[in-house]
Chains A and B, each alone.
Chain A
Amino acid sequence: MKYLCLVYLSPEEWNSAPDEACMACGDELRASGHFITGTPLHPAHTATTVRVRNGRVSVTDGPFAETKEQLAGFYLIDARDLNEAIQLASKIPPAQFGSIEVRPTRELMVSPQHAAAAAAR
């Protein structure tokens, strides 16, 4: 099963986990076969939120929620179950300063016919 580990940090802690440590963490996850992809993010003030309401695209400045902690990056990992995902997420360095949101990913719910038609296009 795939889990998305979202890294949250407050602006004061933004640089607390050194890039070298995060790189090493990614390398370790890669070596153990759990790593799918991951990347650090720019601070939240660079974020844009996109919404579509009644068919119209609305673009607003900033992250979707007003919280102190901001999304700082993510790792997409492949873990056996939630216990393993939690255990791996707890090793992500910023877990010590902020929080990691672990979310199970899901498949898009499309019918086999639709998927076949999409593949044919």
Chain B
Amino acid sequence: MPAAEIARVSTQIDQIYRKDSRRIFATLIRLLGDFERAEEGLHEAFRAAMEKWPAEGLPQNPVAWLVSAGRFKSIDKQRRDQRFEHLEDRPDVAESLADQAPALDEKEELEDDRLRLIFTCCHPALASDAQVALTLREVCGLATEEIAAAFLTPAPTIAQRIVRAKSKIRDANIPYQVPARDELPERLDSVLRVVYLVFNEGYSASSGDSATRADLSGEAIRIGRLIVELIPEPEARGLLALMLLHESRRETRATPDGELILLDEQDRSRWNRALIAEGVALVRTAFETQLPGPYAIQAAIAAVHAEAPSAADTDWSEIVGLYDLLLRITPSPVVALNRTVALAMRVGPEAGLAALDDLLGEGVLDGYQLAYAARADFCRRLGRHVEAREAYQRAIKLTVQTPARRFLEKRLAALPE
């Protein structure tokens, strides 16, 4: 075979690896019943493809070919290992393993396997940080070092979390399945929480370099799409919408040298219109249900912002109303704080400040830097410069992220003496 043809086939194998290897892996876990064996099987399958395909050409269904190859290589290896370990002790095991393996069905089965993998990695019996690491490693196929870089955590710590989680899956017999209808809402919550955590880690400026972080958000959106496709529950759609609407603004949130740009000063002409359209359409369908959930409501708030031509022309009463709804479902000091900011936009900074001071009086926002940043902003707009200065200083002391701190310092410096 000519060299050009070989190069073409190996490019195709590369593409299949990038696009489908995690699907194949998910199916191999089901067929082989074990993460490690599936990982080995996956590598063996692609090695076999590199050997055979350049000479024989691509099979008709490469994914099915790779799944069978991975499965047979693994079963074959187990047979050989067992022969060495117990000689003729248990000839039945490998045979029965081969029989149990169901025939590879159509695309649907493969997609279900990815969902099985997601639900297993996000099982509430696993530690929360282990769920995140395991999802990124097994569902997204990120290397341990990449996860470590994104979370500013030493790689051995991440590796340890993953190893522990996998051994718990094995020892406690956490099943490889999509939960039954009656367990689904609760289990889906845990999956959506992990997906949103991954997204936020990629979206907020808390840690890691910006390229890795954008990847994390991209992975979260990809899983979000898959979940919506297979479990079109309103909250799954709400979360996907929320992520898409945030993502639409990614490029406008900072200057090229990393200075923070707030929502009201962002260049709205650079917001990604395609993502906004998709997000807004999803919010509509998520609101067709009787009781929209917290993700759907947050997405609706993001959608009002996304569709407004400017900060001044935003439907602030709609936003305050949505925050009221959100507060009723998930009462939280942070949501209440955001509501005061919207209130300040609708009624005026005085109303915002009064509501915020009530919250601060309750003590629930102690030590939360955004509360003091908001107070500083309300006071600045009211011309109460002494109070504004005090609040900025307090917020700056509490802010760890450099861009956010620089932003507050600039505002503080701009206050009249």
Q: With A83-B179, A83-B183 known to touch, is A1 a contact of B125 (CB < 8 Å)?
A: no
- Report how far A81 CA is from B183 CA in the complex, Å: 14
A73 within 8 A of B: no
Q: Which of B133-141, B168-176, B246-254, B333-341 lies on the face that meets chain A?
A: B168-176
Shortest beta-carbon distance, B342 to chain A, in Å? Answer: 39
- Report how far A80 CA is from B177 CA in the complex, Å: 13
Interface centre among A82, A86, A87 (most CB of B within 10 A): A82
- Report how far A86 CA is from B123 CA in the complex, Å: 12
Chain A: CB-nearest residue to B182: A87
Question: Is A80 in contact with B172, judged by CB distance below 8 angstroms?
Answer: no
Question: Is B175 in contact with A83, judged by CB distance below 8 angstroms?
Answer: yes
- Report how far A87 CA is from B177 CA in the complex, Å: 15
- Report how far A86 CA is from B388 CA in the complex, Å: 52
Question: Is A104 in contact with B171, judged by CB distance below 8 angstroms?
Answer: yes
- Chain A 73-102 residues near chain B, CB threshold 8 A: 80-83, 86-87
Question: Is B175 in contact with A104, judged by CB distance below 8 angstroms?
Answer: no
Interface centre among A83, A87, A104 (most CB of B within 10 A): A83
Shortest beta-carbon distance, B265 to chain A, in Å? Answer: 49
A106 within 8 A of B: yes
Question: Is B173 in contact with A81, judged by CB distance below 8 angstroms?
Answer: yes
Query: Please, what's the 1-or-0 string for B158-194, where 1 marks a CB less than 8 Å from any CB in chain A?
Result: 0000000000000111110101000100000000000
Q: With A83-B183, A86-B125 known to touch, is A106 a contact of B171 (CB < 8 Å)?
A: yes
Query: Please, what's the 1-or-0 string for A14-57, where 1 marks a CB less than 8 Å from any CB in chain B?
Result: 00000000000000000000000000000000000000000000
Question: Is A104 in contact with B179, judged by CB distance below 8 angstroms?
Answer: no
Chain B: CB-nearest residue to A83: B175
Shortest beta-carbon distance, A101 to chain B, in Å? Answer: 12
Chain A: CB-nearest residue to B124: A86
Shortest beta-carbon distance, B23 to chain A, in Å? Answer: 23
- Report how far A83 CA is from B172 CA in the complex, Å: 10
Question: Is B125 in contact with A80, judged by CB distance below 8 angstroms?
Answer: no
When distances are taken between beta carbons in the complex, the residues of chain B under 8 Å from A104 are 171-173
Chain A: CB-nearest residue to B123: A82
When distances are taken between beta carbons in the complex, the residues of chain B under 8 Å from A81 are 173-175
Question: Is A82 in contact with B183, judged by CB distance below 8 angstroms?
Answer: no
Question: Is A83 in contact with B174, judged by CB distance below 8 angstroms?
Answer: yes
When distances are taken between beta carbons in the complex, the residues of chain B under 8 Å from A106 are 171
When distances are taken between beta carbons in the complex, the residues of chain A under 8 Å from B171 are 104, 106
Query: Please, what's the 1-or-0 string for B80-107, where 1 marks a CB less than 8 Å from any CB in chain A?
Result: 0000000000000000000000000000
When distances are taken between beta carbons in the complex, the residues of chain B under 8 Å from A83 are 174-175, 177, 179, 183
- Report how far A81 CA is from B171 CA in the complex, Å: 10
When distances are taken between beta carbons in the complex, the residues of chain A under 8 Å from B123 are 82
Shortest beta-carbon distance, A100 to chain B, in Å? Answer: 13
Shortest beta-carbon distance, B300 to chain A, in Å? Answer: 33
- Report how far A87 CA is from B62 CA in the complex, Å: 40
- Report how far A87 CA is from B123 CA in the complex, Å: 14
Chain A: CB-nearest residue to B170: A104
Question: Is A82 in contact with B172, judged by CB distance below 8 angstroms?
Answer: yes
When distances are taken between beta carbons in the complex, the residues of chain A under 8 Å from B177 are 83
Shortest beta-carbon distance, A80 to chain B, in Å? Answer: 7
Chain B: CB-nearest residue to A104: B172
Shortest beta-carbon distance, B187 to chain A, in Å? Answer: 9
Shortest beta-carbon distance, B247 to chain A, in Å? Answer: 34
Chain A: CB-nearest residue to B176: A81
- Report how far A104 CA is from B171 CA in the complex, Å: 7
4 closest Cβ pairs, A-B complex: A81-B175, A104-B172, A81-B173, A82-B174
- Extra contacts besides A82-B175, A86-B125, A104-B173 (13): CB < 8 Å: A1-B173, A80-B175, A81-B173, A81-B174, A81-B175, A82-B125, A82-B172, A82-B174, A83-B174, A83-B175, A83-B177, A83-B183, A104-B171
Residue pairs across A and B with Cβ atoms less than 8 A apart, 17 shown, are: A1-B173, A80-B175, A81-B173, A81-B174, A82-B123, A82-B125, A82-B172, A82-B173, A82-B174, A83-B175, A83-B177, A83-B179, A83-B183, A86-B125, A87-B183, A104-B171, A104-B172
